[in-house]
Homo-oligomer: A and B are copies of this chain.
């Protein structure tokens, strides 16, 4: 019986990616039968994987090779300080929009490096909406946004109207839809949602923006170190990068992010329609800000929570329990999740209503 993987991250990967990743962990024909886990990162095989992965990121995100692409480690959590450390001087201003746990942490780290303003926040309503219509000063070095809030289930549908360069944490919706690369100076994302397994972080840095701060930056924290060596200054996380490469190739073969966006809208519509239709459930976020990646919902009667979790378990639905900050349920429906899994969840919700409603 098939399992349905609704984990928020690390999250579902495409079947064929897992298949190839498993084979490569056992043995690679290209490396005389050695496993990818035990080969030099300087081997021709892996050097090509790294180069191809970087090209695919540029291509699939439509960045026109105006960015350097890095595969680093340390998660998006490390980019919270990498970004200001590398591009913000102590006397320069940056503004952050606070849409949840991760942007709150990003603001905390950035405060060490420059003049940071929290321009808007949805904390007043437990981050259940995306702030809009706030004024954006024009003298900012950058505006920091979080494109999707995994925990609270909200997503930024449209960039604010500004000429200020945007820095964006896209950890939980990168590659889920087309973006306008011209608006960004830095894009970063932990791999473990739409891209691959945990263990690598993708960073896209616009060419020409570095080298303008006056700090002495530790070698490993300097974007230029890694750009100069194609993410191979030191040993990169070979296997996580390899699995990302497989996923990127899978996405390209499927037709890229435009095709993926259509699939994601279809899956999300199916689920949100049921949340709205079903008398026992309700969504937690402003309807216009609903995430296509993480659907958060509650039972009208929360005493039935365990019963619903049990019903999900019976259908082999995994990872559906909501984050403690919101409660209830969260269905993470990333790129690689099959529509069939959403249909199964919808069926369980319908049966649950029939039985308990």
Contact = CB atoms under 8 A, between A and B. Distances in A.
A264 interface: no
B74 A74 contact: yes
Nearest to A19: B26
Interface in A1-59: 2-3, 5, 7-13, 18-19, 21-23, 25-27, 31-41
A3 B18 contact: no
B10 A235 contact: yes
A100 to B, nearest CB: 15
A284 to B, nearest CB: 20
B40 A10 contact: yes
Count of identical protomers in the assembly: 2
Given A25-B25, A112-B218, A235 B105 contact: no
Interface of A: 2-3, 5, 7-13, 18-19, 21-23, 25-27, 31-41, 73-78, 80-81, 105, 108-109, 112, 190, 192, 196-200, 216, 218-221, 233-240, 243, 316, 318-319
Given A3-B32, A22-B25, 20 more contacts: A3-B33, A3-B34, A9-B235, A10-B37, A10-B41, A18-B27, A22-B23, A22-B35, A25-B25, A41-B198, A73-B75, A74-B220, A77-B234, A198-B236, A198-B239, A199-B237, A199-B238, A200-B237, A237-B240, A240-B240
